[in-house]
Amino acid sequence: MPGKKDTYPKKAPLSLLIILVAATAVTVSGTLLQYRQIIGATEDSLKFQALGIAVSLEASLKGRDLPPDATAGNVFRDIITEGRWEGIAFLALYDRRGTTLLHSNENLIGRRVEDPSIGSVAADGMPVYDSMTLGTGERVFILNFPVHIRKDERVLRLALHTYPAERVVRRAQLQMASIFAVLVILWIMSYFLLRAVKRSEELKRTMAERERLALLGEMSSVLAHEIRNPLGSIKGFAQFLLERGSAQREQESEMTGEYLGVIVAESERLETLTEDLLLYAKPVEVRPQTLSLRELAEESIAFLHPSPASGNGVTVQHFIPPDLVITSDRDKLKQILLNVIQNAMDAVGEDGRVEVRAGISDAPGGVGTVITVEDNGCGMAPALQARALSPFFTTKTRGTGLGLAIVEKLVQALGGSVEIRSEARKGTTVRIVLPGGQKEG
């Protein structure tokens, strides 16, 4: 058996793994990016909201005397109770030292807050964003906004509830968690898939090995069987001849000739068998050369014609243009022709006709040479035809069943293909397509 290389697709699990890792990386980075964008967007929306409120409050504060009466007409309290803007936790106005001039909670008016950011906002005239925790435990978003009221620098502090924004962030977190969960599930599924692929590969390998062993077993039994019979005859006749004296041998020269004939025939048969076996088992080495197909066919037919197996009345003809050349391995091609023509000759009876043809075919896929061997012999039923190419399959008492298996192997080594069309009792056409070929000149 030619050493078959291990060609099972080890690449499939690897590419699956690469796809999986890439998909995971893309999904994780995409999700994280989206999450960060959402966080940024909610922060921005809080800033814009706070700034918008601060700017419009600044306008309304500019027209008032401050500090107003603590109890009467607290605009900040009114804004919150009226719900003019949504989401305000509290509003306060400080002077540069941190004294509360106005507050939506009246109880806090007049108090001093120790917060250095108030002083710096008043001094720089730039708004500052911050966050703080209220007495209720709620975290709020803070804007310290500088306002200029009648020559005095004041700081408007605006606190916004963050729970609407937090809801958005929580939803994004939940989404992220579910995406990660899906990824984990995907990985677990891929693990099982890969394991299944690996198992099926192992199974395939053991099956191929079993098949190989079965074929080897079949080969051994065929060999034992095929060699035993001719060997028995050879031994028997050789012993017979040995036991006869030379005097007697002369008397029985006719009989001796017959026995010697059997010895030669059986030895030849063993020779064929071992040659076929070697041809089938040996790895094919292709040595291409440019050759005339017509010459090769003539040579093959001439070689087969005198053989006793050809029977009487069989005509083997070829119809091959003289200028048809092909670059291929001459010996292999001859072996192919010999096997196929021999089969055709074996298949035909009296008045059998075997016709060999060759020509250029420019079928899609490149220029090729088509060789056909057609006979009007016994043909093959579909079930028989299906097995014809299998090694050791034969319907002949003295066949090896290796002929077509060798043909298939050689044709494949030459880069071509074999096709058999056959009909029981009508005949058979063996069609061989080889790459290349051209008309000379």
Ligand X SMILES: Nc1ncnc2c1ncn2[C@@H]1O[C@H](COP(=O)(O)OP(=O)(O)O)[C@@H](O)[C@H]1O
- Binding region for ligand X (CB under 6 A): 339, 343-344, 347, 375, 377-380, 384, 388, 393-396, 399-405, 428
Task: Report, in Å, the least distance between residue 357 CB and Mg ion.
Answer: 20
Task: Report, in Å, the least distance between residue 256 CB and Mg ion.
Answer: 32
Task: Report, in Å, the least distance between residue 349 CB and ligand X.
Answer: 11
344 binding partner (options ligand X, Mg ion, none; Cβ < 5 to 8 Å by kind): ligand X
List C-alpha distances in Å: 56 to 35, 50, 59, 85.
32, 10, 5, 11
Task: Report, in Å, the least distance between residue 293 CB and ligand X.
Answer: 20
Note whether 343 binds Mg ion by CB under 5 A.
yes
Task: Provide the 3-class DSSP secondary structure of residue 7.
Answer: coil
Name which of 369 and 376 has its Cβ closer to ligand X.
376
378 binding partner (options Mg ion, ligand X, none; Cβ < 5 to 8 Å by kind): ligand X
414 binding partner (options Mg ion, ligand X, none; Cβ < 5 to 8 Å by kind): none
- Listed in sequence order, the residues at least 6 apart from 167 whose beta carbon sits closer than 8 Å to its beta carbon are none
In this structure, what DSSP letter does residue 241 have?
A: H
Single out the residue of 241, 238, 261 nearest to residue 249, CA to CA: 241
42 binding partner (options ligand X, Mg ion, none; Cβ < 5 to 8 Å by kind): none
Name which of 297 and 406 has its Cβ closer to Mg ion.
406
Task: Report, in Å, the least distance between residue 430 CB and ligand X.
Answer: 7
Name which of 162 and 422 has its Cβ closer to ligand X.
422
Name which of 39 and 265 has its Cβ closer to ligand X.
265
Stretch that binds Mg ion, among 2-10, 108-116, 195-203, 342-350 (CB under 5 A): 342-350
- Listed in sequence order, the residues at least 6 apart from 222 whose beta carbon sits closer than 8 Å to its beta carbon are 392, 401
Residue nearest to ligand X (CB): 403
369 binding partner (options ligand X, Mg ion, none; Cβ < 5 to 8 Å by kind): none
Q: Which residues pair with 128 in a beta bridge?
A: 144
Report whether 154 contacts 146 (CB < 8 A): yes
First to last CA, the chain: 42
Could you give the residue ranges of the DSSP H alpha helices within 305-377?
Answer: 330-347
**Vertex 139, ends 137 and 142: CA angle to 5°?**
135
Task: Report, in Å, the least distance between residue 14 CB and ligand X.
Answer: 41
Task: Report, in Å, the least distance between residue 428 CB and ligand X.
Answer: 4
Name which of 95 and 408 has its Cβ closer to ligand X.
408
Task: Report, in Å, the least distance between residue 420 CB and Mg ion.
Answer: 12
Report whether 266 contacts 233 (CB < 8 A): yes
Residue reference for tokens 């080969």 = 219
Name which of 146 and 403 has its Cβ closer to ligand X.
403
d(CA 380, CA 347): 10
Tokens of 243: 């036991």
Name which of 161 and 421 has its Cβ closer to ligand X.
421
Q: What is the CA radius of gyration of the chain?
A: 49
Q: What backbone phi and psi angles, to 5 degrees, belong to 25?
A: -60, -45
The 372-411 contact track toward Mg ion, x by CB under 5 A, reads -------------------------------x--------
Report whether 319 contacts 356 (CB < 8 A): yes
Note whether 422 binds Mg ion by CB under 5 A.
no
**CA torsion, ordered 18, 19, 24, 29, to nearest 10 deg:** 90
Name which of 403 and 436 has its Cβ closer to ligand X.
403
Size of the site for Mg ion (CB under 5 A): 2
Helix or strand (DSSP H, E) at 361: strand 353-361
Residue reference for tokens 């095929």 = 226
Number of neighbouring beta carbons within 10 Å of residue 240: 13
Residue reference for tokens 């005509």 = 315
Task: Report, in Å, the least distance between residue 336 CB and ligand X.
Answer: 11
| Backbone conformation region of residue 313, classed left if phi is above 0, alpha if psi is from -120 to 50, else beta | left
380 binding partner (options ligand X, Mg ion, none; Cβ < 5 to 8 Å by kind): ligand X
Task: Report, in Å, the least distance between residue 374 CB and ligand X.
Answer: 9
Name which of 199 and 396 has its Cβ closer to Mg ion.
396
Name which of 138 and 351 has its Cβ closer to ligand X.
351
Helix or strand (DSSP H, E) at 159: strand 152-161
375 binding partner (options ligand X, Mg ion, none; Cβ < 5 to 8 Å by kind): ligand X
418 binding partner (options Mg ion, ligand X, none; Cβ < 5 to 8 Å by kind): none
For Mg ion, the binding residues (CB under 5 A) are 343, 403
